[in-house]
C-alpha cells in the first residue's frame, strides 16, 4: 500500500476521530479499574471486541482461514498486540495518570523503527531515523523522570511496564508484516482478538477469578466503550484510514492521542502532569517527526 504525502480533509477528519476514540480509551480503562482487576479489564476488552468482529465477518460472508499456520500466527499476534501490552498498560494505569500513559504509548513508533530494522532488510536505520529514535528515547526518559528511574519505586515500575507494552506493539507490527501480509484486515483483527482471548481468559480467571457481572453502570459503560468502540470499531476505522492515508501518515495518530487523553484525565479525574512530562512528549513528538521525515523534506524544498 502506497503512502500518501498529502492527507485529504476526509482522511484528517477520520484520523482525528480515531485518535479521539483511542484517547478516550485510556480514561475508560482507568475508570473500569476502579471496580475490576486489570486482567479482567483486558478480558472484557478482547472478548467482547472479538465477538463483534466475528459477527461482522459472518454478516459479510468473508472467507475464514483454515490453515493451522495462520491460526498459530493469530495466536502470536494476539499475545504481542493485545494480551501483553493491554495487560501491562492496564496495570500501569493503576499508578500513573491516563495522560502520561498515552504519552508513553506514542513511543510505539520509535520502537517499531528499531524492531523493523532488526527484522527486515529493507527497513534499515538511516542517520535520520537514528536521530529520531535517539530523540524519542530522550523524550521518554524525560517523561519518566531520571530521578524516578534512580528510585525505581512502584510508580517508575508502572511507567516502565507501559513502555514495555509499546515494545510488544513494535514486535507485533513486525510479526503482522512477516506472517499476516496476505490476510484480509477484518479477518486479521478478528483472528488476533481470538488469539488474545484464548490467552487472557483462562489467565484472568485463574488469577482474579470468574468475572462478576454485578458491576456499576459507570463500569459497564467504560467496558462497553473501550471494548466495542475503542477496540472493535476502532480497528474497522483504523483500516479505513489506512486505506485512505497510508501507513506512514498513521504515525500521526500516536501524536494526536495524548492531548485527548490528557484533557479527559484532567477534566474527569482531576489528573495533572508535571512540566517535565509535557517536555518529554514534545521531544518525543520531534523525534517521531524526524523518523517520519516528510515535514523536514517539505521545509527543505521551500527554503
129-158 pLDDT per residue, tens = 888 888 888 888 888 776 655 655 677 789
d(CA 74, CA 129) in angstroms, rounded, equals 30
Least confidently predicted of 23-37, 40-54, 173-187: 173-187
For 23, 80, 192, 202, 253, the CA distances from 162, given in Å and listed in that order, are 15, 13, 21, 23, 18
CA distance 70 to 183: 9
Asked whether residue 2 is domain-assigned, the answer is no
Within a domain: 4: no
Q: Which of 245, 259, 271 is nearest to 24 (CA)?
A: 259
Residue 123 DSSP code:
G
Quick one: residue 211, left, alpha or beta (phi over 0 = left, psi -120 to 50 = alpha)? beta
pLDDT for 302: 52
- Number of structural domains the chain divides into: 1
For residues 29 and 225, the answer to whether their CB atoms sit within 8 Å is no
Question: Which of 26-35, 134-143, 261-270 is predicted with the least confidence, judged by mean pLDDT?
Answer: 134-143
Separation between Cα atoms, residue 176 and residue 195, nearest integer Å: 13
Per-residue model confidence (pLDDT) at position 5: 42
Cβ 143 vs Cβ 96: under 8 Å? no
Would you say residue 77 has pLDDT above 60? yes
Decide if pLDDT at 246 tops 80: no
Residue 1 lies in a domain: no
Residue 61 phi, psi dihedral angles, 5° rounding: 55, 45
Is 145 contained in some domain? yes
> Is 90 domain-assigned?
yes
Identify which of 74, 135, 128 has the alpha carbon closest to the alpha carbon of residue 106: 135
| For helices 98-105 and 127-144, angle between their N-to-C axes, nearest 10 degrees | 160
Give the pLDDT of residue 147: 66
What's the pLDDT at 251? 65
Domain extent, residue 171, equals 9-302
Q: Mean pLDDT, to the nearest integer, of 10-31?
A: 90
Is residue 67 included in any domain, yes or no? Answer: yes
pLDDT reported for residue 55: 97
Q: Pick left, alpha or beta for residue 6 (phi over 0 → left; psi -120 to 50 → alpha; otherwise beta).
A: beta
In a domain, 44, yes or no: yes
Q: Which of 260, 82, 112 is nearest to 177 (CA)?
A: 112
- For residue 68, being part of any structural domain is answered with yes
pTM: 0.86
**pLDDT of 109 higher than 50:** yes
pLDDT over 70 (residue 267): yes
109-118, 144-153, 287-296: least confidently modelled range: 144-153
Query: For residue 29, what are the CA distances in angstroms to 11, 22, 67, 159, 227?
Result: 27, 11, 35, 16, 9
Cβ distance 190 to 132 under 8 Å?
no
Q: What is the mean pLDDT of residues 116-133?
A: 82
Q: What is the pLDDT of residue 203?
A: 95
What pLDDT is recorded for position 156?
A: 79
* 64-92 mean pLDDT: 95
Instruction: Tell me the pLDDT band of 4, cut-offs 50, 70 and 90.
Output: very low
Amino acid at each position: 500500500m502506497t503512502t500518501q504525502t498529502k492527507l485529504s480533509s476526509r482522511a484528517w477528519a477520520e484520523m482525528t476521530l480515531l485518535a479521539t476514540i483511542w484517547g478516550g480509551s485510556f480514561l475508560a480503562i482507568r475508570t473500569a479499574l476502579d471496580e475490576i482487576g486489570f486482567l479482567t479489564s483486558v478480558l472484557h476488552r478482547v472478548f467482547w471486541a472479538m465477538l463483534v468482529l466475528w459477527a461482522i465477518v459472518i454478516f459479510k460472508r468473508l472467507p475464514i482461514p483454515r490453515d493451522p499456520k495462520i491460526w498459530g500466527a493469530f495466536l502470536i499476534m494476539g499475545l504481542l498486540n493485545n494480551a501483553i501490552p493491554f495487560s501491562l498498560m492496564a496495570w500501569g494505569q493503576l499508578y500513573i495518570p491516563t495522560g502520561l500513559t498515552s504519552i508513553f504509548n506514542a513511543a510505539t513508533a520509535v520502537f517499531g523503527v528499531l524492531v523493523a530494522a532488526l527484522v527486515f532488510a529493507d527497513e534499515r536505520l538511516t542517520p535520520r531515523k537514528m536521530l529520531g529514535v535517539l530523540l524519542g528515547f530522550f523524550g521518554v526518559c524525560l517523561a519518566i523522570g531520571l530521578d524516578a528511574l534512580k528510585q525505581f519505586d512502584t510508580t517508575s515500575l508502572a511507567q516502565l511496564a507501559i513502555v514495555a507494552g509499546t515494545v510488544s506493539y513494535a514486535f507485533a507490527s513486525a510479526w503482522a508484516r512477516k506472517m499476516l501480509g496476505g490476510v484480509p484486515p477484518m479477518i486479521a483483527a478478528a483472528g488476533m482478538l481470538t488469539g488474545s482471548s484464548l490467552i487472557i481468559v483462562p489467565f484472568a480467571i485463574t488469577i482474579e477469578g470468574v468475572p462478576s457481572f454485578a458491576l456499576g453502570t459507570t463500569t459497564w459503560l467504560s467496558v462497553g466503550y473501550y471494548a466495542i468502540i475503542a477496540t472493535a470499531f476502532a480497528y474497522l476505522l483504523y483500516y479505513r484510514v489506512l486505506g485512505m492515508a497510508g501507513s506512514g501518515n498513521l504515525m500521526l495518530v500516536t501524536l494526536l492521542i495524548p492531548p485527548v487523553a490528557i484533557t479527559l484525565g484532567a477534566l474527569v479525574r482531576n489528573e495533572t502532569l508535571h512540566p517535565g512530562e509535557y517536555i518529554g512528549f514534545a521531544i518525543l513528538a520531534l523525534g517521531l517527526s524526524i523518523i517520519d521525515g516528510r515535514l523536514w523534506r517539505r521545509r527543505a524544498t521551500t527554503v
